Amino acid sequence: MPPPEECLILIADTDLDWCSRMSSNLLMMRYRTALAHNGRQAIEMIVQLHPQMVVCDLELPPEDVDGIFAAATASRFSIPIIVTATDTASEDGPASRALKNGAFDCLTKPYSTDLLVRKIEQSLQIDVRSFEHGLLHDFSTFFNRISRLDSASDLETLLDISFDYFLQISQADGATLRLFEREKNSWLKVREKTAGDVPFDETVLAGLLGKVTATGQTGTELFKPAGGSAFRSGSQPSAPFALLAVPLKSGNDIKGIIVLERTGPATPFTTADRQAVEIVAIQVGNALVNSQLYETVNRKLLDLQIISSYSEKLMGMVDKYDVIRALFETAARHFDVDFMGFLVEQRRTHEFLYWSRHAVDEKFLQEFCNETVAVYNRAAEASPRRKRTVFHNINLDGFPGDPKLLPTLSLRYVVPLCWDELRFGAVFFGAVVEPQQSSGKLALLSSIVGQTRIALTNTKLYSDMKENYIRTIKALAIAVDAKDTYTHGHSENVMNIADEIARELSIDEKMIGSIRDAGLLHDIGKIGIPGYILNKPGPLTYEEFNGIMKTHSTLGANIVREVPFLRDLYKMILYHHEHYDGNGYPDGLRGEQIPLGARILHVADAFEAMTSNRPYRNSLGRTEAIRRLREESGKQFDPSIIAAFMRVAEKKHWLTDETPTDVTKTPAG
């Protein structure tokens, strides 16, 4: 049974003097009292004050008595009622009817205070058992719901159910639920209901949270209208109100705190109220641990899935720019980043590739680049390189830019990509709003960058291997040229002329690189052609040309086909003698059937051959060579390639200048 000071006794009686006397006597015995002199007042007090006992005089009008009984019964746990009357002997009188309607007992007026107190104590003992039985039923229902939540591990639903139940079990008018963020050492407000839409005073609340956190125990406060502290913002309270702060613990670890409030002329929270909330708080604290563990495991699994998918995406990538684009796309998709920059370390001019969700001001771009360079220099023990860095914007499919200027970044994170002797650069990540659980997000970003570093290592190994192969093949090309003293330097010249034509056609850099390689290796098949044919001073016979010489394109294509990263050159080398009208070799392709690179090589090869000395003739000169190219446009050569070649020839002054050295060793670009 709760102590007297926690019990509020409502006396509803029309006799003002009697009410006053009984109230004074009860107060002397430490009971708190409230007085009502009509049914309306009594019903309002039952609803607002939640008394532990009602003493109702049957001299009140019958409709008032019925209203009081209805209000007491409608309370969450029925409030016991003791009725008083001057005549209690009649079997059909008001007292008998009241007992039949659920009154706890009936006292005959006048009665002594001692008798009233004994009846109150008896009633409260029974009421406590009823209260505990009701709580047990509610707890059973609540625990069943919590058990389902434990299996579902739905934190948001857990918070919803817990918060509503705290309000219900305590009959509070307002509440705020805070969870402790260990990473930031602060309290996060997750649920809140205020009485009268007046916000909580965070300063006072911080003190209460601090006290409960320090002791690990429940805290209670009662604020009075005069001279007391105000828990609410604005002014002193106009009526008393009570606070109850209970920690949500798992063992000794505080996961959160629920602060409950009763406003207005409210009674303090009783021992039973506190115990009820504490029981629920223990269960909620344990459920929070389970939910957070599930969330952590789930997040780790998701992180592993992201890393695994990213690693899969990187497989087979041999171009460092493809790897960097993949990094940007993955980071933009899975992280709340608004700006990314990648400093690409190179021998001469370094690059700063960047993507921004918003338009970015030049000064911010310089600032982000400087910061990235500084971090890279510290990691690589390098000297400043900012002045030798150029900027290139990367557009990502599916991530359209916002024309508004990039706001100030709250988060900046730079990761260098250095591994033993390998120095790739550094990557910059920026976010306008710092993400929740930022340390976990940054750890995942670091893992993603680690995968990027491995992929870049592979691209470098591939590039080095390709370079070695190219050197070997180039040595073979030189060997082929050496077999034919008249065509020394021919392959390199074709490579450079083809490069000029490809750039005039605005072909992408990757394709231009393949065309250059194919130009260098287009005659590699001649290594299998006998020297007496290559150096024959007169025209070749039908058998020599069709039976032997024509095979050089097929021989050369087969050589490069066996090298994985030269396979793109296969068709260009195989078909560089096909004619636009279908009269070429080896397969008689026509028009668009012939690969673009092969059509470009065909024009470059023909021009270089016509302007060079051969065993069977001298150079035709540029003027004649260009005339023949134009004459064969649409027949032997693609008209669009001839048009591009003519623009190159005009820029190079080949149309008017016959100096042979201008044709040979044409500089690329």
E strand or H helix that includes residue 253: strand 253-262
- In this prediction, residue 4 carries a pLDDT of 80
- Reported as a pLDDT band with limits 50, 70 and 90, residue 229 is very low
For the residues of 572-604, what is the DSSP string, one character each?
HHHTTT--TTS--SSS---GGGS-HHHHHHHHH
Mean predicted confidence (pLDDT) in 218-224: 72
Q: What's residue 634's pLDDT?
A: 94
Quickly state the pLDDT bin for 669 (edges 50, 70, 90).
Answer: very low
Cβ–Cβ under 8 Å, residues 389 and 373: yes
Common-topology check for domains 315-451 and 484-662: no
DSSP assignment letter at 547: I
Q: Which of 92-96, 333-337, 572-576, 602-606 has the lowest mean pLDDT?
A: 92-96
pLDDT at 128 over 60: no
Residues of the chain with pLDDT > 70: what percent? 85
- Over the stretch 251-297, which tens digit does the pLDDT of each residue have? 888 999 999 988 765 567 777 788 888 888 888 888 888 877 777 77
Q: What is the 3-state secondary structure (H, E, C) of 377-425?
A: HHHHCCCCCHHHEEEEECCCCCCCCEEEECCCCCEEEEEEEEECCEEEE
Higher pLDDT, 542 or 146: 542
Would you place residue 226 in the very low, low, confident or very high pLDDT band (cuts 50, 70, 90)?
very low
How sure is the predictor about 90, in pLDDT bands with cuts at 50, 70 and 90? confident
pLDDT at 237 over 80: no
Q: What is the pLDDT of residue 602?
A: 96
- The CATH code belonging to domain 4-133 is 3.40.50.2300
The answer to whether residues 462 and 565 touch, using CB atoms and an 8 Å cutoff, is: yes
Q: Is the pLDDT of residue 484 over 80?
A: no
Q: For residue range 48-86, list pLDDT tens digits in order.
A: 777 888 999 998 999 999 999 998 887 656 788 999 988
Going by pLDDT thresholds of 50, 70 and 90, the confidence category of residue 298 is confident
pLDDT score of 230: 40
Reported as a single tens digit per residue, the pLDDT across 366-424 is 999 999 998 988 888 776 565 678 888 888 887 777 788 888 888 899 999 887 778 88
- Judge whether 345 and 361 are in contact, CB under 8 Å: no
Confirm if 512 and 503 have CB atoms less than 8 A apart.
yes
pLDDT at 582 over 60: yes
Integer Cα distance of 144 and 505 in angstroms: 73
**pLDDT mean across residues, the chain:** 82
Pairing assessment for the beta strands 81-85 and 105-108 based on DSSP bridges: parallel
With contact defined as beta carbons under 8 Å apart, do 269 and 242 qualify?
A: yes
At the second CATH level, the architecture of 315-451 is 2-Layer Sandwich (3.30)
The token duo for 209 is: 């949270």
CA distance 393 to 351: 10
Least confident interval from 112-126, 372-386, 422-436, 626-640: 372-386
What distance in Å separates the CA atoms of residue 433 and residue 430, rounded to the nearest whole number? 9
CA distance 9 to 31: 7
Check if the beta carbon of residue 427 is closer than 8 Å to that of residue 452. yes
Per-residue pLDDT at 192? 92
Strand 422-431 and strand 339-344: pairing? antiparallel
Around Cβ 399, how many Cβ atoms within 10 Å? 13
Spatial contact of 664 and 490, defined as CB atoms under 8 Å apart: no
DSSP E strand boundaries for 310-349: 339-344
**Domain boundaries of the chain, sorted by first residue:** 4-133, 153-295, 315-451, 484-662
Ramachandran bin of 178, using left for φ above 0, alpha for ψ from -120 to 50, beta for the remaining angles: beta
Residues 6+ apart with CB under 8 A from 150: 287, 290, 291
**What's the pLDDT band for 235 if we cut at 50, 70, 90?**
very low
Mean pLDDT to the nearest integer, 143-165: 70
**What does the pLDDT read at residue 204?**
73
Q: Helix, strand or coil for residue 647?
A: helix
Tell me what pLDDT residue 7 has. Answer: 83
Cis-peptide into 586, omega within 30 deg: yes
Query: Cα–Cα distance between 88 and 105 in angstroms, integer?
Result: 11
What are the pLDDT digits (tens) for 644-668?
999 999 998 888 766 554 444 433 3
- With residue 319 as reference, give the H or E element that holds it: none
In this predicted structure, the answer to whether residue 169 has a pLDDT above a threshold of 50 is: yes
> At residue 101, does pLDDT exceed 60?
yes
Tallying the residues shown for the chain, one arrives at 669
Q: Which has more pLDDT, 549 or 428? A: 428
237 residue type, one letter = P
Question: For position 667, what pLDDT does the model report?
Answer: 34
Q: What are phi and psi of 533, to 5 degrees?
A: -80, -45
- CA 314, CA 323: separation in Å to the nearest integer? 7
At residue 430, the pLDDT reads: 92
Pick the CATH number of 484-662 from 1.10.10.10, 1.10.287.3240, 1.10.3210.10, 1.20.210.10: 1.10.3210.10
Instruction: Give me the architecture of the 153-295 domain, per CATH.
Output: 2-Layer Sandwich (3.30)
Contact between 392 and 408 under an 8 Å Cβ cutoff? The reply is no
